[in-house]
Chain A
């Protein structure tokens, strides 16, 4: 394993209950942007949970070149579960990310509640909250559900810019959409 390896799979079979799936051998390196693709039920989220060590592999292993605490996983469809009327400025303060937030987010949304933000703005806020201190590996689970094409492209370019500025060590995105210029791993 090299110094710039984030994680590497080794004859990995993932599974939960009666479901199992073999994952192709691959290595994710620092600075990489990977798109994890697969049919419904192919185990994309199970694979991510295996990376996070929440689920043990059925066979084989994953070797991490990054501390597990430096992996940020943004859950699928978790936005609608935020019920408190927390506004953007308060959210950023909780995560000590007020300065970065003010730089990367438009001023007009700072006083808005999380619930009133667009899907794209919610994604950006969630990402910014987790990148201020550690150069983490960011894992996004279906971040573009219910998000229009222009916002999707905007978030993709936002993510690329964070990666180019080395504010993140890598991005692994689970999505059924197609993207240009991103390495695709199919499971």
Chain B
């Protein structure tokens, strides 16, 4: 591998190695809350907000543009919670807003590149400034999780199992930060990357792990490996697209773990 080729991409490589494990950990919470379809619906709403922001907010007011997206995120969040939308309701929102997004392109063709980047974003094309900002967000997320993982898990189990919503200022602030992190990742890294790293590690590991620690650690390891190897691979072999390569490696690692877990469960029975 040509190191000279890699050095300019260091900020992006660091971002990939921090964002992907953060998404994998958050994915564990999303899986436990059965929020995969919620995430699909919210993502499409955010993309609508992003496209409308591009139309109505001047380019130099990036923060305002981000606030438009956050507004759409909160509308979706509030609406789905208030009406206790089930999977069909959430998937209906997903489909409706996907159609609305495409409709927007037919009216304003200039939005097409923005839609493509929010759907199939490519981490390799991230600006250094965005890469640093995402790295800081992801690093903060990981540190906060190390500190508050127990509290987050307790409040999650309480909600599912004991019907007690343990909400206080700390958890509200933490959740707000997580929402902002997810929205920013979605805008900069794309729908497919974010959803893949949120859902796939949990899907592959939740039935193969014997403890929560090994489940989370496994998710962190396979997401770091796949995001960084996929990125380096696509830098070295230019015919490879970054994001599909990253997801393919994630799939490969996940399937290997699944196969190993299946074999190790079968072998003792045969002996």
A binding-site residues for B, Cβ under 8 Å:
52, 54, 72-75, 78-79, 81-87, 89-91, 93-95, 111, 113, 126, 130
Contact = CB atoms under 8 A, between A and B. Distances in A.
A94 B166 CA distance: 14
A63 B93 CA distance: 43
B207 A95 contact: no
B211 interface: yes
B161 A86 contact: no
Interface residues of B, number: 23
Interface of B: 28, 31-32, 34, 150, 153-154, 157, 160-164, 205-207, 209-215
Contact of B212 (A54, A90, A126): A90
Contacts of A83: 31-32, 34, 206
B210 A111 contact: yes
Given A73-B162, A78-B160, A85-B210, 6 more contacts: A72-B162, A83-B206, A89-B211, A90-B211, A94-B153, A126-B162
A134 to B, nearest CB: 13
B161 A85 contact: no
Contacts of A79: 161
B161 A94 contact: no
Given A52-B163, A72-B162, A87 B210 contact: yes
The listed residue with most A CB atoms (<10 A of its CB), out of B32, B211, B215, is: B211
Nearest to A130: B162
A75 B161 contact: yes
29 contacts: A52-B163, A54-B163, A72-B162, A74-B161, A74-B162, A75-B162, A82-B161, A83-B31, A83-B206, A84-B28, A84-B31, A84-B32, A84-B206, A84-B212, A85-B205, A85-B206, A85-B209, A85-B212, A86-B153, A86-B211, A87-B212, A90-B212, A90-B213, A93-B150, A94-B153, A94-B154, A111-B210, A113-B211, A126-B161
A126 B215 CA distance: 22
A86 B31 CA distance: 13
Nearest to A91: B157
Contacts of A82: 32, 157, 160-161
B158 to A, nearest CB: 9
A91 B163 CA distance: 17
